[in-house]
Amino acid sequence: MGEQPIVKAKEAEEPFLQHKEAPENQTDEPDEDTTCGFWIFKGKSLQSFATERMYVTLYGIAGCTIAMTFAYFNGTITTLEKRYKIPTQMSGIISVGNDMSTMFASALLGYYAGSGHRCRWMGVGLLTFVIFCLLTSSLHFLYGAGDEALKLTREFGAANGSEHIMHLENNRAKLCQQNASSSCVQESDAWIPQAVLLTAQVISGVGQALFYVLGISYMDDNLTKAKSAVMLSLSTFLRMLGPAIGFSLAAFCLRLYIEPSLEPLITPKDPRWLGAWWLGWLILAAAVLASAVFMFFFPKELPSAKARRMLEKPETKHLQPKDLSVGDMMIAIRRILSNKVFILNTFSSIVYFFGYMVYWIFTPKYIEVQYRQSAAVATMATGTIALGFSAAGVLLSGYVLSRYKPSARLLAAWNATVDFLTVAGMVGYVFIACEGSDNVTNMTISRQANDTCSPSCHCDYVAYAPICGPQNVTYISPCHAGCMDTGKDDLGQTIFTNCQCMGNSSIFLGNSSLSSELPFGVDGPCPVDCFGQFITFLVVMCILKLFGASSKNTGILISLRSVLPEDKSFALGLGSMVASIFAFIPSPIFFGWLIDNYCLVWGKTCSSKGNCWLYDTKSMRYAMNLTAAFCVFLGGLLNIAVWYYAKDLKIFDAEDEKKPKNHNLDDIKLSSLRASSKDLQF
C-alpha cells in the first residue's frame, strides 16, 4: 500500500515514455515534495493517505471545525452581551475582527505564500484558531460568572447566611427607593472583556486567510477536472456540518447555567438567564487542534498531481517557485480588474453578503427578541434545523452541476432568481409578527411615555428584573412599577405589592399572607405565546436557506472560471479582501447600530449604558428586514448584468478532458469570494 500511488504514476507514464525517454529512476522513490509526514513522523505507512479523496475529506473536516467556532460565537453572542454588558453595535464590531485581519492578510498570503508548503501553513492557520478558542474562554476564568448571575442561585443565599433573608434583601434592592437614590454599578474594567474578544477574533482572521486561501488553491492544483465537481460538493457539505454542530453545541451549553455546579432560581426562559457559554470553547479548541495535527502530515504536492505534471513536462521534477515581484502583482491586479464577469459577480456577492450578514450573526437574537424564545431554542433552530436545509441545497446543486453541466448564463440566471426569492422571503419576515410580543412592547412604550411616578423612585441604576402586572403589562423592574413591599404567595412565587405606578388596578390576592386589595406584580416577564409565529418564521427561513445554498457552487464556478490560471490564488485573496472591506466588516457594524437604535431599555453602569434588555420589536422588524431586502435586491440586479456578459464563458468543457493540454485551464476553480466558513453557514 505504501508505494501504490507511485506505481500508478509509472503505469500512467508508459505510453508517453515510448516516445520520450524520462530520466532514470525519476519516480522510483517519493521525493520530499510528495512524502507524507513531518519532523520525525514519517514513513511508508503514511504514504497511502496522500490521495485526493483523503485531502478533500480532511480539508472538509478541518473547515467544519472552523465553521463550528464561528457558529458557536454567533450562538452565544447574546449571552456575552448580557454577561459583559456589550451593546449590539460593539458586538458587531467584535464579530468582524477576523474579517479585519483577513482583509490585510488574504491578498499577500495568496500571492506570496502560495509557493510554499501550503498544508503546513494551513496547519499553522488552524493553530491560531486554537488560540482564538482558549483566549475567548479565558474571560470566564478571569471574571467568573458575575455577581448578578450568582445572586440568582440558591447557593448564593446559603453562602451569605439565611437563604430566605438574602432572597428578601435582593428583592428589596429592586424596590422603589423614595428617600435615597440608587447607586450605580462600578465597571472600571468593562472594556477589557471587549478588547479580549476582539483580539481573539483578529488572531483567528490570520488563520482563516491561511487555511482558506491556501487550502482551496492546493485543492485546485491537485485535483483533476473529472473529480473536481464531486470533491467540491463533498468538501462544502462537510464544512456546512460545522455551523449545525456549532449551533447545537451552543444550544446544549446555554441550557446549563453559567456555573453548572450551582442551582439557579430562574429558568432558561427568563431573560436574565446566562448559559455556560464558556464550556463549548474548550471542546472546540480540542477539535481544531486535532485537525491541525493531521493537516501537517500532507505533502507539498500529491503524488497523483505530480504524475500528471510529469506527463506534460518531465523535466520539472520539482515544483519551481514563482518569480514574485510588486510589478507582476500590479499587472495581475489590472488584469483582474478588467474582467467584467469577475468584477460584476464579485460585487453582486458583496451586496448580497452585506444584506444577509445580519441573519448570519443576529438570527438567534432576532428569534429571542421577536418570538420570545430562549437562547437555547433560538440557537438550536438556527443551527440544526435551518442549516440542514442549507446542506441539502449544497448537495443538490452539486449533483445538478455534475449531472447536467449548465451554461454560465443559466448559472447566472439561477443566481438572480435566488436573490429575488430571498428578497420576497425577507419582506415576508416583516409580516410574521407576534402580536403578543408587540403588545408587551407597546404597553412598555406607553407606560414610559406617560410615567410621572417612577422617577421619584430613583430607578436609573436598578438592574433589569421584569415583573408582570395587571392587564398583562411587563414592567422593567419592581422599582419602575413603584412597588414598596415584597413577599411570596401560596405557590411560592415572589410577589411585589403596593405598586403605586401601576395605576388604580387592584387584584385580590386570595388566602395568602399578603391578602389585601393592592396593585401587585409577579416576578418575571408576562407570558407571551409566540410559538406559532416562530414556527412560521422557521419554515420560511428553511426554504430560503435551501435555495440560497444552491447558489453557492454556481457563484464559485462563475467567479474564478473567468480568471486566468496564474491569477487563481491571487484573485481568491484579492476577492476576499474586497469583500471584507465592503461587506463583512461594515455590515455587522451597521446592522448592530440599526438594532441598537430601537432599544427601549438599556442596562446602565456608572461608566456606560451596557447592553440592551428590551427592544421596540415592530420597528426593529421593519427596519432590519427591509434594509437587508434592499441590499439583496441590488445583488439580483447585478447578477442580471453577469448573465449578459457571461455569454461566452465556458464552465464545463468535456471535449478537452481527453486532451493532455493545460490541465489548469480545465480544472474547476475551487474558491469563493469569501475566504471564510461564514459563506457556508446559511
Residue with cell 442580471: 640
φ, ψ for residue 496 (rounded to 5)?
-110, 120
> Cα(274)–Cα(254) distance, rounded to whole angstroms?
7
Contact (CB, 8 A) for 116 and 308: no
Min mean pLDDT across 221-230, 366-375, 404-413 is at 221-230
Mean pLDDT confidence for 118-138:
92
Q: Which amino acid is at 59?
A: Y
Residue 186 neighbours by CB distance under 10 Å = 10
> Cα(284)–Cα(286) distance, rounded to whole angstroms?
5
What's the chain's average pLDDT?
A: 77
Residue with cell 449578459: 644
> Cα(115)–Cα(386) distance, rounded to whole angstroms?
39
Sign of the CA dihedral running 387, 392, 395, 400: negative
DSSP 650: -
More confident position, 410 or 311? 410
pLDDT number for residue 233: 67
3-state secondary structure of 392: helix
With CA atoms as reference, report the closest residue to 140 among 297, 270, 282, 235. Answer: 282
Residue with cell 508508459: 14
pLDDT in tens, 546-592: 888 887 777 777 876 777 766 766 777 788 788 888 988 899 889 98
Q: What is the residue-wise DSSP string for 451-463?
A: --SGGGG--TTPP
> Cα(11)–Cα(311) distance, rounded to whole angstroms?
11
Mean pLDDT confidence for 286-304:
87
Contact (CB, 8 A) for 251 and 376: yes
Percent composition of the chain: helix, strand, coil (DSSP 3-state, to 5): 65, 5, 30
Domains and their CATH numbers in the chain = 52-165+192-306+325-434+530-680 (1.20.1250.20), 436-523 (no CATH)
pLDDT number for residue 182: 55
pLDDT in tens, 82-92: 888 888 888 88
More confident position, 439 or 613? 613
Q: What value does the CA radius of gyration of the chain take, rounded to a whole number of Å?
A: 29
pLDDT > 70 fraction of the chain, expressed in percent and rounded: 73
More confident position, 538 or 103? 538
**How would residue 418 be classed by pLDDT, with cut points 50, 70 and 90?**
very high
Cell of 515: 391578602
pLDDT > 90 fraction of the chain, expressed in percent and rounded: 22
pLDDT number for residue 514: 42
Contact (CB, 8 A) for 497 and 470: no
Angstrom CA distances, 593 to 89, 581, 586, 620, 623, stand at 5, 18, 11, 11, 12
Residue 461 neighbours by CB distance under 10 Å = 15
Min mean pLDDT across 237-241, 348-352, 367-371, 474-478 is at 237-241
> Cα(80)–Cα(374) distance, rounded to whole angstroms?
15
